[in-house]
Chains A and B, each alone.
Chain A
Amino acid sequence: MQRIGVFVCWCGSNIAGTVDVHTVAEALKSEPGVVFSTDYQYMCSQAGQDIIKNAIKEHNLTGIVVCSCSPRMHEATFRKTAAAAGINPYMVEIANIREQCSWVHKDMQTGTEKAIILGKAAVAKVNLNTPLTPGESPVTKRALVIGGGIAGIQTALDIADAGFPVDIVETKPTIGGKMAQLDKTFPTLDCAACILTPKMVDVAQNENIRIFSYSEVQEIKGFVGNFDVTIKKRARFVKEEICTGCGACVEKCPMKKIPNEFNLGMDNRHAIYIPFAQAVPKVATIDPNACNMLKKGKCGICSKVCSAGAIDYTQKDEFISEKYGAIVVATGFNPISMEKFDEYAYSQSKDVITSLEFERLTNAAGPTAGKLLRPSDLKHPHTIVFVQCVGSRCAACAEKGKEYCSKICCMYTAKHAMLVRDKYPDTEVYVFYIDVRTPGKNFDEFYRRAVEEYGVKYVKGMVGKVTPEGDKLKVQASDLIANKQLHIDADLVVLAAAIEPDKSARPLATMLTASMDTNDFFTEAHPKLRPVESPTAGVFLSGACQGPKDIPETVSQASAAASKVIGLLVKDKLTGNPCVASPNELMCNGCSTCERVCPYGAITYEDKEFMMPDRSKAIRRVAQVNPAVCQGCGACTVACMSGAMDLRGFMGSQIIAEVDAICK
Chain B
Amino acid sequence: MHNDNTRLTQEIIRASGVNPSKCMKCGKCSATCPAYDEMEYHPHQFVYMVESGDLEPLMNSKSLYKCLSCFACIDRCPRGVEPAKLVEAVRFAVIRQQGADHMTPDDVPAKLNEDIPQQAIVSAFRKYRK
Contact = CB atoms under 8 A, between A and B. Distances in A.
Q: Do chains A and B interact in one complex? A: yes
A389 interface: yes
Contact of A461 (B27, B72, B81): B27
Interface stretch (B36-44, B88-96, B116-124): B36-44
A465 B70 CA distance: 14
Given A393-B24, A434-B24, A434-B25, A476 B78 contact: no
B31 A477 contact: yes
A488 to B, nearest CB: 11
A397 interface: yes
Contacts of A465: 31-32
A476 B72 CA distance: 13
A485 B80 contact: no
Interface in B24-59: 24-33, 36-37, 42, 44-45
A478 B77 contact: no
Interface string A447-484: 00000000000001111110000000000111110010
Residue from B22, B24, B26, B32 whose CB has the most chain A CB atoms within 10 Å? B26
Given A393-B78, A396-B78, A434 B26 contact: yes
B83 to A, nearest CB: 12
B28 A464 contact: yes
Nearest to B22: A395
A117 to B, nearest CB: 45
Nearest to A479: B27
A478 B28 contact: yes
Given A462-B26, A480-B25, A485 B78 contact: no
B28 A394 contact: no
Counting contact residues on chain B (CB < 8 A from A), the size range is: 20 to 34
Nearest to B37: A485
A177 interface: no
Contacts of B27: 434, 460-462, 478-480
Residue from A343, A394, A396, A464 whose CB has the most chain B CB atoms within 10 Å? A464
A401 interface: yes
Contacts of B25: 434, 480
Contacts of B72: 464
Given A434-B24, A478-B44, A480-B25, A394 B30 contact: no
Counting contact residues on chain A (CB < 8 A from B), the size range is: 20 to 34
Contacts of A476: 31-32
Nearest to A391: B78
B31 A395 contact: no
B102 interface: no
B79 interface: yes
B78 A401 contact: yes
A485 B73 CA distance: 14
Given A389-B26, A434-B26, A464 B78 contact: no
Contacts of B33: 464, 485
Contacts of A395: 22, 78-80
Interface of A: 343, 389, 393-397, 401, 434, 460-465, 476-480, 483, 485
23 contacts: A389-B78, A393-B26, A393-B78, A394-B78, A396-B79, A396-B80, A434-B27, A460-B27, A462-B26, A462-B27, A464-B29, A464-B30, A464-B33, A464-B76, A465-B32, A477-B31, A478-B28, A478-B36, A478-B44, A480-B30, A483-B42, A485-B30, A485-B33
The 4 closest A-B pairs by CB, nearest first: A464-B31, A396-B80, A464-B32, A462-B28
Interface of B: 22, 24-33, 36-37, 42, 44-45, 72, 76-81
